Structure 1
């Protein structure tokens, strides 16, 4: 993932990146479960991914994206639409292993979208945020994170946060 522009020195971006990294690891585990024909394992991992993405998506959509909408409206709309598409397939596993035999294929397809989505955010959105967001914007992003938290096992502390 991107480390060249310095955007990860911003706590909010470092947190979002850590969540992306965790999700990427879970996607690898889903691929392994798929290779074993383990639909129940895929569903369990889909729920784990959804748990990480819940607060992550709120931070992006309620904090980061509004600050970028004026300059990057079409990109923000596209990323938000991808969030809905990804959530829809992950939500199919919310109550257990989906009975639909086509669900594992849908999951793999949407995880490919998610992987590309992560790369788009890390190589485009996050560096753009570094250049376009001001102190008040970062404070808004931090306020969302403080409200929604993080589901990572080693979540970042919310005190002593720094934005731009």
Structure 2
């Protein structure tokens, strides 16, 4: 994805970007499963996407976004709203394949929102953070990541 502003030199942004890349690849897997009529496969990949996005979203919402919300309140609120909308569709697959026949279409629609969401972060949030945040701010974001990693290792 974005490599022109140098923001990937910041560890926190590099990690978030790698997670975005992983999710984008999984979106392709969902589309392939959909084309094959494999709703169970779509649900399985949705669970994998949710597993990546859980800690990823926590780093954004508890680390990065609060540091930017003062300067960009509407944009941050919109991104957080998109997080909730995407999570709701992914969560429907948390216990297996959803029985709702409309769920596959809702998943594809949510993943389209997610794809656009990723572009907003990569092309807007990350470069803005690079120019706005201090070293101490980045340390705080890194600490949120450390807590997420420790929590996942449980």
Q: TM-score, structure 1 length as denominator?
A: 0.90
The equivalent of 2:8 in structure 1 is 8
Shift of 1:50: 0.1
Shift of 1:136: 1.5
CA–CA distance in 2 between the matches of 1:70 and 1:100?
40
Instruction: Provide the alpha-carbon RMSD of the alignment.
Output: 0.8
3-state SS of paired residue (1:37): coil
CA–CA distance in 2 between the matches of 1:34 and 1:113?
17
1:3-152 superposed matches below 5 A: 3-149=3-149
CA–CA distance in 1 between the matches of 2:149 and 2:111?
24
Between the two proteins, the alignment pairs up a number of residues equal to: 150
CA deviations on 1:39-71 (whole Å, 9 max, x unpaired) are 000000000000000000000000000000010
CA–CA distance in 2 between the matches of 1:59 and 1:140?
10
Shift of 1:113: 0.0
CA deviations on 1:101-145 (whole Å, 9 max, x unpaired) are 000000000000000000000000000000000112111100000
CA–CA distance in 1 between the matches of 2:23 and 2:57?
12
3-state SS of paired residue (1:31): helix
CA deviations on 1:22-53 (whole Å, 9 max, x unpaired) are 00000000000000000000000000000000
CA deviations on 1:81-108 (whole Å, 9 max, x unpaired) are 0000000000000000000000000000
Deviating above 3 A after TM superposition, structure 1's stretches of 4 or more consecutive aligned residues are none
The equivalent of 1:156 in structure 2 is none
CA–CA distance in 1 between the matches of 2:88 and 2:136?
32
Instruction: Pick the structure with more helix per residue.
Output: 2
Q: Which runs of 5+ in 1 are unaligned?
A: 151-164
